[in-house]
Chain A
């Protein structure tokens, strides 16, 4: 499992820019940002190189922030890649709450992020030969805030 930063966002103009600016000013590098929206508010989900430092920065900037454990999976850039992963998770009885993907520059594979309800998911995928990404490949694990 890797750590994702989840941020509560009121719907107001320029607010997302404020968030990313605060992180940039702290020297934090975003790998992925996914915005989930309702009519009332949004949640920004962020994969970055220093999740705990990001939480500290955003906390002090007044945002509502949580660290969430999510699954990162490397998926070959071929048809059916995601379907294979979902099949394995389904057979293991794991529910997926949401998923999103990003591509790392210079790589031939996409990174897919899954929010699952069962920590056994990692093992099921590994047994099925799917490459689950360890935290140290995506961000600094020193977690010094």
Chain B
């Protein structure tokens, strides 16, 4: 553990620390941010909670609130104290901007050092930071944590996959940090280049920034010969470093001394008990630049009840397999692309690379899933290929409860992503009434 005094803090002390920090941040936002002053006043709550239970009556903050505040209107510190800004990827419309004070950057480095240490990292490690550097929080977030822990840090950023493999092999990288879909591409590329990753020093990966399934984890672990660790974060709350798995790989420890996690029912928005699924809500406890109060992440998860054998006392959230933003609604049914991935990784003969094409036929939504045939398939057997196609279709349909079409496509024909994979192509707007 990098900071055992916090990571293994007795629960009652930890909750005391949370309440104390919560009071500080409530006062900070009430005094410095118009939005919170208005929303607290409108909800009739004071900038001072007597208990964590009382806090559950405070108003939520939404993604739209951050968009409306573009670029700096939710900052709780004057710009002279802000030393860095990042922004969300902005896939839908307006981007959101977040600001960090020197203390924020310092805490972030500690939290990412914890994350790398929890994955088994020590100052002897060599960390290849393949997350993008720039406005995206991934690259610099991991970078600072890796340096803080004392690892050799390779700021290679994303892209140029052959060079990634070359560097990984020549520099003796031990820990790879990137999105899970890019980890797969690196594994495939190494194979094509004749590089056997199991003979390199690589032993762990910290993968995040997109939801992925347990089957995909197993596939990555086998292809790269490593332990694949899930990490979680979002720029609105911090970036990577909000929560991360320990080597137990059973839930992500939330850094509760810095973030208060709540799970709320998606309909009633009331807090649910540990173990029950709902939307994840975070409140930052120490951030100065842009604290958020009860921020609704749109991510669906639950708290895993019970203690973790690793000795950390923090709550564990289950890995996020669905982000409501990625959710697609087809004929009234909610579909998460990760459900498709989970199915594909369990079927021999297909690769876990897929794309969902949404279209319209009349008023009806159509779904066509393009699935790559594995390169070692026997391509002479038409019946075998047809059987494969039918199986993929049947299994996806039963997982999603929506009827779909499946098209088998040639190996490696679906565009590989160097960051977040583009899983869904929605043509419904373009085909209206077609």
Q: Which residues of A contact B (CB under 8 A)?
A: 4, 6-10, 36, 38, 40-41, 43, 45, 59, 62-66, 68, 115
Contacts and interface: CB of A to CB of B under 8 A. Distances in A.
B417 interface: no
B373 A40 contact: no
B124 interface: no
24 contacts: A6-B378, A6-B379, A6-B380, A8-B377, A8-B408, A8-B410, A9-B410, A10-B413, A36-B382, A40-B389, A41-B385, A41-B408, A43-B382, A43-B385, A62-B411, A62-B412, A63-B411, A64-B410, A64-B411, A66-B379, A66-B380, A68-B378, A68-B380, A115-B380
Given A40-B389, A41-B385, A8 B379 contact: yes
B272 interface: no
Contacts of B407: 10, 40
The 4 closest A-B CB pairs, nearest first, are A6-B380, A68-B380, A8-B379, A66-B379
Contact of A64 (B377, B386, B389): B377
Contacts of B408: 8, 10, 40-41
Contacts, number: 52
Nearest to B370: A10
A106 to B, nearest CB: 30
A38 B378 contact: no
Given A38-B386, A40-B389, A64-B373, A7 B379 contact: yes
A10 B412 CA distance: 13
B44 interface: no
B375 interface: yes
Contacts of A115: 380
B219 to A, nearest CB: 19
A37 B409 CA distance: 15
Interface of B: 373, 375, 377-380, 382, 385-386, 389, 407-413
A64 to B, nearest CB: 5
A64 B379 contact: yes
B413 A66 contact: no
A65 B373 CA distance: 11
Contacts of B375: 59, 64
Nearest to B376: A66
A101 B245 CA distance: 60
A4 B380 contact: yes
Given A8-B373, A40-B389, A64-B375, A45 B410 contact: no
A38 B373 CA distance: 16
Nearest to A9: B410
Contacts of A7: 379
Contact of A43 (B380, B409, B412): B380
A40 B388 CA distance: 12
A8 B407 CA distance: 13
A145 to B, nearest CB: 14
Nearest to B372: A64
A65 B374 CA distance: 10
A49 to B, nearest CB: 19
B396 to A, nearest CB: 15
Contacts of B409: 10
Max chain B Cβ within 10 angstroms of own Cβ: one of A38, A40, A41, A62: A41
Given A10-B408, A10-B410, A66-B379, 20 more contacts: A4-B380, A6-B378, A6-B380, A7-B379, A8-B373, A8-B379, A8-B385, A8-B408, A10-B409, A10-B413, A38-B386, A40-B386, A40-B407, A59-B375, A62-B411, A62-B413, A63-B411, A64-B375, A64-B377, A64-B379
Nearest to A63: B410
Contacts of B377: 8, 64, 66
Contacts of A40: 386, 389, 407-408
B310 to A, nearest CB: 44
Contacts of B411: 62-64
A115 to B, nearest CB: 7
B386 to A, nearest CB: 7
Contact of A45 (B378, B380, B385): B380
A45 B303 CA distance: 55
Contacts of A43: 379-380, 382, 385
A6 B373 CA distance: 14
A62 B377 CA distance: 14
A45 to B, nearest CB: 7
Nearest to A67: B380
A12 to B, nearest CB: 10
Contacts of B378: 6, 66, 68
Contacts of A38: 382, 386
Contacts of A41: 385, 408
Nearest to B389: A40
Contact of A65 (B379, B386, B389): B379
Contacts of B389: 40
